[in-house]
Amino acid sequence: MPIHTAIVHVALHTPSHSGVGDLLSYASAQPLPPGTLVRVPLGKREVLGVVWDAAEATGELPEGAAMRPVAGVLEGVAPLALPWRRLVAFAARYYQRALGEVALAALPPQLRDLQPDQLARRLKRPAKALDQDGSENAIQTIALTAEQERARARISSESGPFLLFGSTGSGKTEVYLRCVQEALEADPTAQALVMVPEINLTPQLEERFTTRFAPRFGSQAVVSLHSGMTNPQRLKSWLAAHSGAARIVLGTRMAVFASLPGLKIIVVDEEHDPSYKQQEGARYSARDLAIWRGREQGAKVLLGSATPSLETWHASRPPTPEDPEGGRYVRLAMPSRIGAGALARVRRVDMNQQPRRAIFSAPLLAAISERVARGEQSMVLLNRRGYAPVLHCADCGWKSDCPHCSAHQVFHKTDRTLRCHHCGYTVRVPRACPTCGSPDIHSMGRGTEQLEEQLGDLLSEVLRPDRTPARIARIDADTTKAKGALEAQLAQVHAGEVDVLVGTQMIAKGHDFRRITLVAAVQPDGALFSSDFRAPERLFALLMQAAGRAGRDAAYMAAQGTQCEMWVQTFHPQHTVYEALRKHDYEAFAAQQLKEREEAAMPPFAYQALVRADARTQEVAQGFLTAATAAAHAAGLPGLDAVTLFPPVPLTIQRVANVERAQMLMESGSRTALQRFLAAWQPVLQATRSAPEHKGLVRWLVDVDPLVI
């Protein structure tokens, strides 16, 4: 038997809020450096862990105590570096999660399952040779505009972090490429991390980066990391990044935890997008962690957006006499489009003056018809998939409610189903009302399926220049389920095989459509009067991003002799959101919103956290939060005097999959006070859960800096 001479402290993914502790101790036959990946026993299982602290000599154990030995070491994988461990430790501490949970979630799923011998065999497989040695091939670049060059020069000479505030079509991606190129050429071991908000934006960005950098560094030097990849693909990309073989990592929010020992630059494209905030497990913000990681690792951080989040916009405010220090970010403006292309002209249609129940106004339909007849493309945006949000019985008032959620089942006409978009419960559409038997069942509201169908009818007589009928396509979560479906549909749009593209927000962000000259938002008003104080910000960003899909190719627009347009059908044409959109005036919109936020003491002028509770009944969920609040006051927890705790309330959709959900909001003018209180409250929450009256509690979690309240 081996003689165990050292104790190692290992981070494991233990059950959430189990009270086991962040680190467990194991005996090792030899000292293991921090960051080493090991297989260790946990209960009856054997799991992956990360050695966190330096090994220490085995001491005397308490009588009757035994220390279980490390089962194996994953040889061939270099220990995870200190900057990576510090990032994980900060994320766990700030977002109030267990250290091992964050650490193991940041590693590829397949790595957690491989035994040391299996990993050793995988690492022995011959790697594909790089297709270029990179020694003589120059990177082919394009000339920068004056605005792009000014931004690049400041990024090169200053430390940042930077906000690249560029209008849609201003060439932000080219600035990213040039800054990454400078970092890689300056240091042969340098690595770059480039993040995008959604998976569907990764392939086109990967193609662009590969085209630019493969001739110099080889195609294997550019890898992707996102949840749409298979587990073997993710492991391969992670190992390439961890070893330094991958010079550029492209990915979604999970990529912020990639092991990049040579990290020199981080790019966060469309930094305003809420997709950067994880909504399950450890609810971290990848954008905020990117800022923290860049500072800790000495890497430059570049945030890019045409519609920055108000938090980022406020953090990048320039110094003024009233605020001599200004923000902590450097704001770089690029207001002009490449090739002197014009921004879309915004036209508002007052739907109060249109026929009742009209989906498309006559002026908008005429404008789309004209574009089709000229061979141009149009895009119609409705952020609701399905045919209709609900079915309704005119006789008894029955609605297609989900039996497991406090939400409606959405009518999908394509496959004649009613589908809950929250729990996935699906049934066939009934032939008659399930309550009264009446056959008079109607759809209420509209989804992208209905828009596609209506346009097919309304444009049936409209012919393209080659005298063929108009071609309409739809892109949403329903049409892109199959592997490769999204790429195939986008390729059709780029090839000009689609005249009118209907879709959800999936089509509004980041895509470089060259022939779209008209964009229309048909039902955007729902967000104007939401209880969520961030709803106007999100709506404005979505519409500005959508407007940016039109007229991106200045040469094409000049050849067509037309002007790109953004049409907005609304019952509130004078609303401040639409007024600012008409002028493409993000700065005025942001100033107005920030003034309201400051008066109401809301982020970014205050800090928030939520505690959410899921239970079998709403009474148990709210009872747990009420009891935990009382316990916090009784204990006089540190920081409580600077934190406001609001009463618990049900979530907007309070029941999902037969689980009731409640939450309570906390606010503070001090981030430090809020963090100090949350850290002290964790054991109180755990103890409160153990009380008999909370037996029906399913789970609870803390959400720091929530985006949805």
Q: Which residues are annotated as a binding site for Zn(2+)?
A: 393, 396, 402, 405, 420, 423, 433, 436
Q: Identify whether the C-beta of residue 276 lies closer than 8 Å to the C-beta of residue 286.
A: yes
* Rounded Cα–Cα distance for residues 130 and 144 (Å): 30
Written as six digits, the tokens of 390 are 């609900």
Q: Which residue has the tokens 């109401």?
A: 600
**How many CB atoms lie under 10 A from the CB of residue 78?**
14
Q: Identify whether the C-beta of residue 98 lies closer than 8 Å to the C-beta of residue 16.
A: yes
- Dihedral, CA atoms, 646, 652, 658, 660, nearest 10 degrees? 10
Written as six digits, the tokens of 336 are 């002009």
Say how far residue 369 (Cα) sits from the centre of its chain: 35
**How many CB atoms lie under 10 A from the CB of residue 626?**
15
* Rounded Cα–Cα distance for residues 483 and 46 (Å): 34
Q: Please state, in angstroms and as integers, the Cα–Cα distance from residue 119 to each residue in 81, 122, 188, 255, 259, following that order.
A: 20, 5, 28, 22, 18
Angle at 132 between CA 129 and CA 134, to 5 degrees: 125
- H or E stretch at 216: helix 202-217
Angle at 260 between CA 256 and CA 264, to 5 degrees: 90
Find all residues with CB under 8 Å of 476, minimum gap 6, and list them: 385, 448, 503, 504, 506
- H or E stretch at 493: helix 485-494
Q: Identify whether the C-beta of residue 282 lies closer than 8 Å to the C-beta of residue 256.
A: no
Q: What residues form the annotated binding site?
A: 393, 396, 402, 405, 420, 423, 433, 436
Bond into 161 cis (ω within 30) = yes
In residues, how long is the chain? 709
* Rounded Cα–Cα distance for residues 46 and 48 (Å): 7
Written as six digits, the tokens of 384 are 């609701």
Angle at 600 between CA 574 and CA 625, to 5 degrees: 120
What phi and psi values does residue 309 have, to the nearest 5 degrees? -60, 150
Bond into 69 cis (ω within 30) = no
The closest of 187, 189, 198, 260 to 223, measured between CA atoms, is 260
* Rounded Cα–Cα distance for residues 389 and 374 (Å): 34
* Rounded Cα–Cα distance for residues 672 and 685 (Å): 20
What phi and psi values does residue 333 have, to the nearest 5 degrees? -100, 135
Q: Identify whether the C-beta of residue 108 lies closer than 8 Å to the C-beta of residue 234.
A: yes
Please give the DSSP secondary-structure letter assigned to residue 507: G
Q: Which residue has the tokens 């010079």?
A: 247
Written as six digits, the tokens of 643 are 């934190």
Pairing of the two strands 643-645 and 390-393: unpaired
Angle between helices 146-157 and 172-186 (to 10 degrees): 40
Q: Identify whether the C-beta of residue 218 lies closer than 8 Å to the C-beta of residue 162.
A: no
Q: Identify whether the C-beta of residue 390 lies closer than 8 Å to the C-beta of residue 399.
A: yes
Find all residues with CB under 8 Å of 558, minimum gap 6, and list them: none
DSSP assignment string, 317-371: PPP-SSSTT--SSEEEEE-SPGGGPPPPEEEEEEGGGSPTT-SS-HHHHHHHHHH
* Rounded Cα–Cα distance for residues 357 and 571 (Å): 12
* Rounded Cα–Cα distance for residues 343 and 14 (Å): 52
